[in-house]
RNA sequence: CGGGACGUGGCGCAGUCUGGUAGCGCACUCGCUUUGGGAGCGAGGGGUCGCCAGUUCGAAUCUGGCCGUCCCGACCA
């Protein structure tokens, strides 16, 4: 397990030299049956199931996103959309189906996606005589339609119509949509056949302007990931072998999961003039010359939710950063089916109202009074597994004392292995609630950042050292920062192949990078930049 | 797409080898007791055993095909 870590499952062993032997600490009874340490992949599946985020749909690689998972996505959408709009980008919607001929115009692009495209070839079904329906041979489409795996081509066709003059530039568009990629191996949220995302597409007069937009989007993602998802990332440029098909340069944000693997959490591409050429996106310059546009594209997807799970989850389930929690505080009344219940509910409702009037992280607090029938303890553990940032339990004693019982999801256990309840006055809690949520947001971020930095090795100077670090017996190794000479072509292919033997990939070259002095680990030549290598999702 | 494992009430599983009344735990419903830190006891409800064929008097069980899931690999903005 990457260290340092969240709440500890292993606690100090009682010291025998003390005169009075402390009572043995009972093991924590975690809400999940599988720990991260025992089997990270199984743990990940269990979090998704137990937090009721998503489930199998019966369609290969496609998932049903349930209210808690979708609620998180809606929060991501809303907060990201604010940033996109603030940058002057307008939302549009483009068709799900793309004529194959559009796609075929950009050679590298079609090569990159050909093996994973869903294709529509017929528009009608017909009875086959045995009670089943089959595509009607009479109804074959003249030109197959592909289900969009990404929309550069169809948006490019629109841009070609929309851009005539230098006055039309820059053209800044975005769409929130679903896309389909027929992946060989799927994983909930991380790689599904269908996924939800936003894709920004922009056209510019020249390279500089397009590159500025590419890097603006990347910085938007980096800031979003840190400030909203509490997920630290490294923003940088992908090596040429990892470029988006058809791109001139691809940039990414890379996050470290708790098993040490890297997750590409967002990408931004400078597409040069290739797509503009394929789609005919040209403008007349001030000088009257017909000129090709430079285009960009950038996106983040529901994969971010997988990143949040693997960044913040613990052995009791998910921990949702307050900024993206559909609800930030759950109030659980402890009812006893007697005449005292009405007073408890009144007390809870008034508390809910007072909290909902507050502002935290720049928005009104999202508070849920969980009045559903059922046992308070069961509701509590259900919210723990979902990762509700703060859980309040209100019983008759709290009502008469003017108190609340508070659980902070990010600090669930006390030293003695018991659930950490804090009883405080209602008024004190209301006064502190907003700051408390902001503190949870910050502390989840700091915990993730500390873990990431503790798991990046910077002192490996040769390939043997690299092989040792990623040896068979190493449990969840992190990343390695290396110096290299940025080889290209076949020389790069050799490097990639050598890394592949260790199941490693080059993640990116960090953007903010000072002077580099040293020797390339792969070629022995003077190094020109830093790279991160890691195992990845 | 290759190798492996798997698919049986909502969830987790046994039963399959050796064909013969569909089982268990949790969850759910009802009742009683309990009641501030993941309650106990009792009584119930719920399943065309992934789908389609085949063998058979009889299939969860045997055979074939298909669909889906997980792990490893290949592939993968």
Mean pLDDT on A404-430: 95
Nearest-nucleotide field for A197 (CA, C1') = B77
Predicted TM-score (pTM) of this structure: 0.94
Q: Strand B: which residues 485-524 of A lie within 7 A (CB)?
A: 500, 503, 505
Determine the Cα–Cα distance for residues A301 and A382; give it in Å rounded to an integer.
26
The predicted complex's ipTM stands at 0.93
The whole-angstrom distance between residue A403's C-alpha and the CA centroid of its chain comes to 37
What is the secondary structure of A262-314 as a DSSP string?
EEEEEEEEE-TTHHHHHHT-EEE-TTS-EEE-EEEEEEEETHHHHHHHHHH-B
Q: Is the CB of A417 under 7 A from strand B?
A: no
Q: Is the CB of A200 under 7 A from strand B?
A: no
Determine the Cα–Cα distance for residues A203 and A194; give it in Å rounded to an integer.
27
Q: Is the CB of A31 under 7 A from strand B?
A: yes
CA A118 to each of CA A137, A147, A152: distance values in angstroms, whole numbers, following the listed order? 19, 6, 17
Residue A471 pLDDT grade (very low, low, confident, very high; cuts 50, 70, 90): confident
Handedness of CA A21, A27, A29, A30 (dihedral sign): positive
Determine the Cα–Cα distance for residues A357 and A366; give it in Å rounded to an integer.
9
Mean pLDDT on A69-87: 98
Note the pLDDT tens digit of each residue in A261-272. Answer: 999 999 999 999
User: Which of A1-5, A60-64, A249-253, A456-460 shows the lowest per-residue confidence on average (mean pLDDT)?
Assistant: A1-5
The whole-number pLDDT of residue A491 equals: 94
The whole-number pLDDT of residue A526 equals: 96
Give distance CA A128 / C1' B53 (Å): 17
The torsion angles phi and psi of A127, rounded to 5 degrees, stand at: -65, 135
Give distance CA A202 / C1' B17 (Å): 63
């Amino acid at each position: 397990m990457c260290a340092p870590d969240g709440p500890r499952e292993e606690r100090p062993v009682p010291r025998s030299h003390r005169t009075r032997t402390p009572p043995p600490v009972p093991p924590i009874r975690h809400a999940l049956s599988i720990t991260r340490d025992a089997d990270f992949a199984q743990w990940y599946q269990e979090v998704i199931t137990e937090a009721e985020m998503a489930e199998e749909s019966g369609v290969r690689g496609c998932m049903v996103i349930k209210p808690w998972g979708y609620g998180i996505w809606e929060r991501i959408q809303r907060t990201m959309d604010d940033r996109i709009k603030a940058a002057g980008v307008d939302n549009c919607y483009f068709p799900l189906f793309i004529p194959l001929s559009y796609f075929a115009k950009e050679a590298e692009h079609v090569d990159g996606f050909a093996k994973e495209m869903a294709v529509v070839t017929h528009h009608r079904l017909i009875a086959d005589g045995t009670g089943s329906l089959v595509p009607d041979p009479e109804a074959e489409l003249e030109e197959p339609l592909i289900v969009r795996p990404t929309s550069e081509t169809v948006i490019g066709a629109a841009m070609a119509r929309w851009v005539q003059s230098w006055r039309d530039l820059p053209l800044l568009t975005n769409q929130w949509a679903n896309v389909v990629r027929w992946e060989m191996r799927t994983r909930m949220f991380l790689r599904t056949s269908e996924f939800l995302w936003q894709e920004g597409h922009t056209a510019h007069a020249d390279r500089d302007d397009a590159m500025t937009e590419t890097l603006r989007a990347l910085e938007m993602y980096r800031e979003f990931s840190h400030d909203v998802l509490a997920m630290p990332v490294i923003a940088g440029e992908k090596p040429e072998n990892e470029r988006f098909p058809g791109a001139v340069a691809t940039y990414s944000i890379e996050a470290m999961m708790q098993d040490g693997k890297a997750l590409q959490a967002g990408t931004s591409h400078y597409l040069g003039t290739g797509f503009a050429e394929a789609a005919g996106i040209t403008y007349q310059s001030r000088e009257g010359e017909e000129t090709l546009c430079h285009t960009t594209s950038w996106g983040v997807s529901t994969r971010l939710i997988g990143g949040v799970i693997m960044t913040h989850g613990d052995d009791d389930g998910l921990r949702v950063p307050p900024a993206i929690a559909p609800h930030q505080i759950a109030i659980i009344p402890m009812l006893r089916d007697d005449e005292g219940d009405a007073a408890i509910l009144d007390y809870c409702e008034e508390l809910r109202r007072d909290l909902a009037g507050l502002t935290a992280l720049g928005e009104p607090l999202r508070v849920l009074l969980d009045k559903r029938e059922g046992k308070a303890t069961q509701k509590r553990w259900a919210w723990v597994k979902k990762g509700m940032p703060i859980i309040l339990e209100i019983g008759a004693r709290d009502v008469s004392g003017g108190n609340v019982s508070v659980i902070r999801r990010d600090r669930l256990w006390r030293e003695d292995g018991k659930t950490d309840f804090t009883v405080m006055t209602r008024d004190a809690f209301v006064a502190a609630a907003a700051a408390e949520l902001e503190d949870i947001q910050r502390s989840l971020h700091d915990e993730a950042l500390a873990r990431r930095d503790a798991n990046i090795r910077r002192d490996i100077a040769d390939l043997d050292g690299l092989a040792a670090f990623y040896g068979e017996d190493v449990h969840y190794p992190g990343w390695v920062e290396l110096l290299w000479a940025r080889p290209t072509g076949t020389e790069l292919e050799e490097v990639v192949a050598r890394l592949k033997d260790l199941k490693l990939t080059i993640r990116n070259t960090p953007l903010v990078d000072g002077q580099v002095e040293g020797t390339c680990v792969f070629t022995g030549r003077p190094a020109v930049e830093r790279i991160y290598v890691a195992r990845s999702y």
